[in-house]
């Protein structure tokens, strides 16, 4: 944990507070985005937390361009909500520090996030290509 904090210029107290807040917010969200209302809740969470997460991660992840393309896809009004719902789930997983492999673990912390993002990229295929131009 200390190594993570040194790399990211935050204190252990700040990290603990961040994780507590994230856990509370995630507990309020449904992980099932099978309705437009639930999708909107998840989208709102992503919009509120996306840029703060990218700021903390910086340029340390090789798949940031993919994350940004997914975010642009989610914001596009021409894409139906039910297509974007899988993207919302993946972005919430990326934003959350509490997942299968916690993000603060050096080197391995983002491997599970990469797996989720890769699965969504594969699912969307060429449909996502146009959203890389906006990155």
45-76 pLDDT tens trace: 899 988 888 888 767 788 989 999 999 999 99
Look at residue 6 in the predicted model and tell me its pLDDT: 40
- Domain range enclosing 126: 2-132
Looking at the chain, the whole-number percentage of residues with pLDDT higher than 90 is: 31
Sort 106 into a burial class: Cβ within 10 Å, 0-12 / 13-18 / 19+: exposed
Return the ∠ at Cα 52 (arms to 77 and 64), rounded to 5°.
70
What average pLDDT does range 14-29 have in this prediction? 57
What is the per-residue pLDDT for 37? 84
Supply the pLDDT for residue 33: 65
Q: What angle do CA 26, 11, 21 make, to 5 degrees?
A: 15
């Amino acid at each position: 944990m200390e190594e993570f904090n040194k790399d990211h210029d935050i204190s252990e107290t700040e990290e603990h507070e961040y994780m507590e807040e994230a856990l509370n917010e995630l507990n309020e969200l449904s992980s099932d985005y099978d309705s437009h209302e639930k999708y909107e809740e998840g989208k709102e969470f992503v919009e509120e937390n996306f840029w703060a997460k990218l700021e903390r991660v910086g340029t340390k992840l090789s798949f940031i361009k993919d994350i940004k393309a997914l975010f642009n896809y989610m914001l596009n009004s021409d894409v139906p909500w039910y297509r974007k719902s899988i993207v919302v789930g993946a972005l919430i997983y990326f934003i959350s520090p509490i997942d299968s492999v916690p993000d603060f673990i050096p080197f391995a912390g983002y491997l599970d996030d990469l797996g989720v993002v890769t699965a969504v990229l594969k699912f969307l295929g060429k449909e996502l290509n146009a959203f890389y131009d906006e990155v």
